Amino acid sequence: MVRLFLAEHYPVLIIVVSLFSAFTILIAGWVNKKTCLPISLATISVQLLMAIFILRQVMSSGAVHYWLGGWAPPWGIEYVIDAFNAYVLVIVLFICLITAIYSKRSIEKEQPHKIVPFYVIFQLLVTGLCGITVTGDIFNLYVFLEIASLAAYALIAAAGGRALKASYNYVIMGSIGACFYLLGVGFLYAVTGSLNMADLSHLLPPLYGNKVVQAAFVFFVVGLSIKMALFPLHIWQPDAYTYAPSAVTVIIAAAMSKVSIYAFIRVFFSVFTTDFIRMYVPIAIVISWIAAVAIIVGSLIAIMQTNLKRMLAYSSVSQVGYIVLGVGLYSTQWGLHGALIHILNHAITKGCLFLAAGAIIYRSGLWNIRDFEGLGKKMPYTCAAFTLAALSMIGVPPSVGFVTKLCLLLASLEAVEYGFVAVILASTLLNLVYFWRVIDRMYFVRKEGEEETEHEIEKEEAPVSMLVPTLILGALCIIAGILWLAGAKTALLPIVDQAVNALLGTGVVAVP
Amino acid sequence: MTEGAIVSSYIPLFAILCPATASFLILLSSKRPNVRESWTIIAGILQFSLIASMIPTILNDEVIRCTFFPTMFKGIAFGFKVDAFGLIFALTASFLWILVSFYSVGYMRSLREHAQTRYYFCFAIAIFGAIGVALSANLLTMYIFFEILTVSTYPLVIHDQSKEAISAGHKYFAYLLTAGVFLLFAIMMTYYLTGTTDFTGGGIKALAELGPAYKLTLVILFFCFLLGFMKAAWMPFHSWLPTAMIAPTPVSALLHAVAVVKAGVFGIVRIVCYIYGVDLMTSLGLGLALACIAGFTMIVANLFAIAQDNLKRRLAYSTINQLSYIILGVALLSPKGIEGAMIHIPFHGFMKITLFLCAGAIMVVTGKKNISEMGGIGKKMPVTMLAFTITAFGMCGIPPACGFISKWFLCLGTLQAEEIIFLFVLLIASLLDVVYFFPIIHTAFFKRAEGGGEEETEVKEAPLFMLIPLSLTAIFSVLFFLDFILRLNIISMYFYKIVEVAVGNAIP
């Protein structure tokens, strides 16, 4: 492999570059507003390249360890990147890049006076997300979680009006979640005296019977469930998604929720272990059922919505259920695979859907599904991307949603839980109901009183900088689906294989 | 098993790429109708020649295999396998696509339909799905094409875009995608139980060896498969088919007489002969259950058909009935019965498509949809009605159309299976066929047009684009019959041989 400049420092550089870039944007934006986006774009591109490099390195030679300041763990903070982190990191940065490109026109229209603050906070959010992903220290994770959350609160509130209330709700709920997480960290520190994940996973096994450890676990689960909007702790999420600026919705829905789920899975399997879950806290079956209820209820509420973004938000509630169901079925061959695969799948699909929704609002100001008649002719490409993503949500083969469905079905069959089988299959039909309603409106339903006419409807397509990201994600819904199905012959599945092995193994990695 | 040597070849891939490529070219040339339509026709001809070029290999008792990649699931590879049975379906669908494309040009232009690009685009995708189903090597591959077929036909069904059409489309979707859910479950269950979903002549061995503890599971699984193949329109899950008749006639003709419904029946045959296998079916008593469903559908659908006045709806119920002939043939689990079922797939395709094309021609020329208004139409459109009459005879099992032959085999099949009751069911159903087809012929030729005097009616046929395809399908229906009876060895010599090979594969 070619030696790249500072290659061994990439884990920390991903964070540092991003953090400094946020301040650079602030200063440069003061001088000239137009410099914000290029700086942000350049930073995220560099970060993405580094992430891809790390992913390749992890795939070829195992997990990467980076000791901050050269302090050896468990005293110093350690950044550990195995296949799972690297995978999530690449996804998150990719979505961030897409959002950054998309945000140019979107923010110019929605918040022309707040361009500089937007990009500063946006970059801080990216920093937080990357930090959560790379760190191997549970307290450090908390710090980054708060950086990301605070940035997200601010970004949502920036839209003003009803977004203020949405953001306030999110602040309250998010803070409770963060407190729970912090309590969990405190409990573990009180018992073990360590904050390093790998170290904890070695110190904890003798203490598994300890009530404090078990309470800490429950605090972690509840706290992170709030952060990732797992039903019934999702109440902050629909408002936040609906009223946030379009670009912000995309990054929160597609990237930030994934990172929270990452933290959840990481704590679940790398701090605690499968032994603990199996023997001391029989939580797998509980969260599986919660997830199953989330899948159904999320879809049912989505059916009742008339606001497109709100509908997508409730759809996210149901999709988080898919991932958690996969986690709950970790003991089967395909359960955790399904969860990890769906992290990518949901990021792509929901990203695409929110991008399309934002583009529609940008161009025509429409948010009510009932007003979508004829949109398929006005904005053909946006609607085509939306349709691809919607089909993927429904799980029409060979889209990404289909792959998830297959994995979870097999996992449920293997666990002999026919209830989950029924839930997954029913969810397909529910998804069909609320997504097809939109597609029908876009393409087929005629406006009341409008007669069959062949006259050309003027095209009002979204600007290129918004359209291209949408189309890329739309195409990926199908391409990634085929890549997953092709399995061993492509690069994707081995990453997930390795990630699952690492998670179900002995923890992040052995202490060096 | 008796499956012959395996040959690797990319011909199936190229064949299936024809409509896929055509669909994109159609989108690109949406502004130039002539170019757009010629893409469809070129692709159709190319595809048919590619599929036909596989005949000699298949007759050699070999199987063509084309595997793209192993999937993420161990034991399932994504790919195509062309055996004799798949080839029958592929040949029928691709050949009729060419004819229907010509017909569509005439029909859509005569009626000045809107959204023609979307129409041809979805049509090509639907054929892509149908041929994919025919050539798939395993259940998962088949499922993928199955769903593509369902989704791509939705815009065709609601082509009219009226409220009525859209609610018909919703019904269509509700039925077929619910079916898809059952099918997916059944496929994954099969995979979970056996570790494979490959179509194997004589059934998957691992499934047969599961032992008595799994008896109930296998029965439930079979019914999940049946529900999954709701496309076969067996009763009581048939009502989407008459509702979907709101589509333009060429769509009804190809998709609802050939591609969609035949894909369903094709699937059932695949399950019975290539997943479960005849022996397992017999030991589980599923053959009899399936035959009962089919027999019930045959009789009841015919009774429904008698009550219809709309010509297309009557034909739709006739389709439901005829599909159950095929299901019955397989359910008998006897070689002759299976042979009859396999022959009936293309034969019914040819005959039913003629009937639909005639109905469309009548609609384009006179604008009439109901049978009661069709008095005197036989004099006005003699060629169309002649084709209609011949194939309607065929539907009832009367020479000179090929329907007689498949029914002959089905009757032999009931005797071979020693299920005399089903022989009677068959005969009663055929009788009922006569009851609802002959009034149409009677009205057309012997009744006067309403309010029409004694004056000579002018002959006014549909445009040649429509007339030639429907005459051709009628001629083919007769040819198949003559060929069999007189041993002319013209075209269909291959055809009967392929069926023989297919039966040999299915029953080792």
Please judge whether A413 and B189 are an interchain contact, meaning their C-beta atoms are less than 8 angstroms apart: yes
Which residues of chain A have a CB within 8 Å of the CB of B70?
Answer: 487-489
| A-chain residue closest to B177, CA distance | A429
Residue A428 at interface with chain B, using a CB cutoff of 8 Å: yes
How far apart are the CA of B143 and the nearest CA of chain A, in angstroms? 8
**C-beta pairs of A36-42 under 8 Å, 24+ apart in sequence:** A36/A115, A36/A116, A36/A118, A36/A119, A36/A120, A37/A100, A37/A103, A37/A104, A37/A119, A39/A119, A40/A100, A40/A119, A40/A122, A40/A123, A41/A97, A41/A100, A41/A101
DSSP one-letter string for A363-419: HH---BGGG-TTHHHHSHHHHHHHHHHHHHHHT-TTSHHHHHHHHHHHHHHHTT-HH
SS3 at position A64: strand
Residue A452 has a pLDDT of: 53
Residue A149 has a pLDDT of: 92
Report helix, strand and coil shares of chain B as percent, to nearest 5: 75, 5, 20
How far apart are the CA of B13 and the nearest CA of chain A, in angstroms? 16
Q: Which of A366, A380, A357, A358 is nearest to A457 (CA)?
A: A380
SS3 at position B463: coil
Restricting to B residues 154-173, those with a Cβ less than 8 Å away from any Cβ of A are 155, 158, 161, 166, 169, 173
Nearest to A391 among B72, B151, B181 (CB): B151
- Cα→Cα distances A450→A206, A446, A447, A454, B116, Å: 73, 6, 5, 12, 19
Q: Which of B261, B426, B275 is nearest to B340 (CA)?
A: B426
Say what the alpha-carbon torsion angle B462, B468, B469, B473 is, to the nearest 10 degrees. 120
Q: CA-CA distance, A246 to A102, in Å (whole number)?
A: 9
Residue A397 at interface with chain B, using a CB cutoff of 8 Å: yes
Q: Which of A446, A18, A25, A499 is nearest to A262 (CA)?
A: A499
Which residues of chain B have a CB within 8 Å of the CB of A493?
Answer: 72
**Which alpha helices (H) appear in A158-256, and where do they start and end?**
162-192, 197-203, 211-227, 237-243, 246-250
Residue A487 at interface with chain B, using a CB cutoff of 8 Å: yes
Residue B151 at interface with chain A, using a CB cutoff of 8 Å: yes
Residue B178 at interface with chain A, using a CB cutoff of 8 Å: yes
Structure tokens at B320: 């439901």
A117-129 per-residue burial string, b: 16 or more CB within 10 A, e: under 16: bbbbbbbbbbbbb
Residue B450 has a pLDDT of: 64
Please judge whether A444 and B155 are an interchain contact, meaning their C-beta atoms are less than 8 angstroms apart: yes
| A-chain residue closest to B174, CA distance | A429
Residue A403 and residue B188 in contact, taking contact as beta carbons nearer than 8 Å: no
Strands B63-70 and A64-67, by their bridges, are: unpaired
Looking at residue B457, the DSSP 8-state letter turns out to be P
Please judge whether A488 and B158 are an interchain contact, meaning their C-beta atoms are less than 8 angstroms apart: no
Most B CBs within 10 A among A485, A492, A497, A500, hence the mutation to make, goes to: A485
Q: Which of B184, B359, B479 is nearest to A407 (CA)?
A: B184
Residue A446 at interface with chain B, using a CB cutoff of 8 Å: yes
| B-chain residue closest to A493, CA distance | B72
Q: Which of A478, A481, A480, A458 is nearest to A387 (CA)?
A: A478
Please judge whether A391 and B189 are an interchain contact, meaning their C-beta atoms are less than 8 angstroms apart: no
Q: Which amino acid is at B445?
A: F
Counting as low any pLDDT under 70, the low residues of chain B are 1-4, 449-457, 489-492, 508
ipTM of the complex: 0.85
β-pair partners for B8 = B65
How many helices (H) and strands (E) in chain A? Answer: 21, 2
Q: Which of A326, A321, A302, A181 is nearest to A242 (CA)?
A: A302
Restricting to B residues 263-302, those with a Cβ less than 8 Å away from any Cβ of A are none
Strands B63-70 and B77-82, by their bridges, are: antiparallel
Q: CA-CA distance, B71 to B54, in Å (whole number)?
A: 26
SS3 at position B452: coil
Most A CBs within 10 A among B16, B67, B72, B153, hence the mutation to make, goes to: B72
- Other Cβ atoms less than 10 A from the Cβ of A381: the count is 17
Q: CA-CA distance, B307 to A116, in Å (whole number)?
A: 72
Looking up tokens 């390249």 gives: A49
- Other Cβ atoms less than 10 A from the Cβ of A202: the count is 16
Please judge whether A486 and B72 are an interchain contact, meaning their C-beta atoms are less than 8 angstroms apart: yes
Structure tokens at A107: 């923010």
Please judge whether A445 and B177 are an interchain contact, meaning their C-beta atoms are less than 8 angstroms apart: no
Nearest to A396 among B151, B182, B188 (CB): B151
Please judge whether A489 and B70 are an interchain contact, meaning their C-beta atoms are less than 8 angstroms apart: yes
| A-chain residue closest to B75, CA distance | A487
Q: What is the pLDDT of residues B443-465, one digit of tens each?
A: 888 877 666 555 556 777 888 88
Please judge whether A489 and B155 are an interchain contact, meaning their C-beta atoms are less than 8 angstroms apart: no
| A-chain residue closest to B67, CA distance | A486
Nearest to A440 among B72, B147, B166 (CB): B166
Q: Which amino acid is at A507?
A: G
Residue A444 at interface with chain B, using a CB cutoff of 8 Å: yes
Which residues of chain B have a CB within 8 Å of the CB of A486?
Answer: 68-69, 71-72, 78
pLDDT by 10s per residue, chain A, length 512: 456 677 788 888 888 899 999 889 888 888 888 888 888 899 999 999 989 988 888 888 888 888 888 888 778 888 888 888 899 999 999 999 999 999 888 888 888 888 888 899 999 999 999 999 998 889 999 999 999 999 999 989 888 888 889 999 999 999 999 999 999 999 999 998 888 888 888 888 888 888 888 899 989 999 999 998 888 888 888 988 998 888 899 999 988 999 999 999 988 888 888 888 887 777 888 889 999 999 999 999 999 988 999 999 999 999 999 999 999 888 888 888 899 999 999 999 999 999 999 998 888 888 888 888 888 888 888 999 999 999 999 888 888 999 899 899 999 988 888 899 999 999 999 999 999 889 888 888 877 655 555 555 677 788 888 889 999 999 999 988 888 888 767 778 888 888 888 888 743 333 33
Residue B349 and residue B262 in contact, taking contact as beta carbons nearer than 8 Å: yes
Phi first, then psi, for residue B165 (nearest 5°) are -65, -40
Residue B223 at interface with chain A, using a CB cutoff of 8 Å: no
How far apart are the CA of B483 and the nearest CA of chain A, in angstroms? 42
How far apart are the CA of A422 and the nearest CA of chain B, in angstroms? 9
Strands A78-81 and A64-67, by their bridges, are: antiparallel
Residue A459 and residue A300 in contact, taking contact as beta carbons nearer than 8 Å: no
Residue A507 has a pLDDT of: 39
SS3 at position B62: coil
Residue A144 has a pLDDT of: 92
Residue A299 has a pLDDT of: 92
Please judge whether B191 and A410 are an interchain contact, meaning their C-beta atoms are less than 8 angstroms apart: yes
How far apart are the CA of A452 and the nearest CA of chain B, in angstroms? 8
Residue B148 at interface with chain A, using a CB cutoff of 8 Å: yes
Nearest to A485 among B72, B161, B182 (CB): B72
Which residues of chain B have a CB within 8 Å of the CB of A409?
Answer: 184-185, 188
| B-chain residue closest to A491, CA distance | B72
- Cα→Cα distances B194→A229, A417, B209, Å: 38, 18, 9
Please judge whether A445 and B72 are an interchain contact, meaning their C-beta atoms are less than 8 angstroms apart: no
Q: CA-CA distance, B243 to B53, in Å (whole number)?
A: 38
Residue A223 has a pLDDT of: 92
Residue B16 has a pLDDT of: 87
Terminal CA-to-CA distance of chain A, rounded, Å?
24
Most B CBs within 10 A among A342, A438, A444, A490, hence the mutation to make, goes to: A444
Q: CA-CA distance, B383 to B66, in Å (whole number)?
A: 44
Residue B396 and residue B433 in contact, taking contact as beta carbons nearer than 8 Å: yes
Residue B1 has a pLDDT of: 41
Which residues of chain B have a CB within 8 Å of the CB of A457?
Answer: none
Residue B241 and residue B233 in contact, taking contact as beta carbons nearer than 8 Å: yes
Please judge whether A485 and B71 are an interchain contact, meaning their C-beta atoms are less than 8 angstroms apart: yes
Q: CA-CA distance, A360 to A374, in Å (whole number)?
A: 12
How far apart are the CA of A266 and the nearest CA of chain B, in angstroms? 24
Residue A473 has a pLDDT of: 92
For residue A488, the surrounding DSSP H or E stretch is none
Structure tokens at B242: 């008459």
Cβ pairs bridging A and B (under 8 Å)? 73
Q: CA-CA distance, B246 to B434, in Å (whole number)?
A: 25
Restricting to B residues 77-96, those with a Cβ less than 8 Å away from any Cβ of A are 78
Say what the alpha-carbon torsion angle A359, A362, A367, A369 is, to the nearest 10 degrees. -50
Terminal CA-to-CA distance of chain B, rounded, Å?
6
Residue A486 at interface with chain B, using a CB cutoff of 8 Å: yes
Nearest to B70 among A406, A443, A487 (CB): A487
**Which alpha helices (H) appear in B136-162, and where do they start and end?**
139-157
Q: What is the pLDDT of residues A330-380, one digit of tens each?
A: 888 888 889 999 999 999 999 999 999 999 888 888 888 888 888 888 888
From edge to edge, which strands make up the β-sheet containing B6-8?
B6-8, B63-70, B77-82
Residue B109 at interface with chain A, using a CB cutoff of 8 Å: no
The pTM assigned to this predicted structure is 0.89
For residue A357, the surrounding DSSP H or E stretch is helix A335-364
Residue A512 has a pLDDT of: 32
Burial of residue B73, with CB atoms counted within 10 A of its CB: 0-12 exposed, 13-18 middle, 19 or more buried = buried
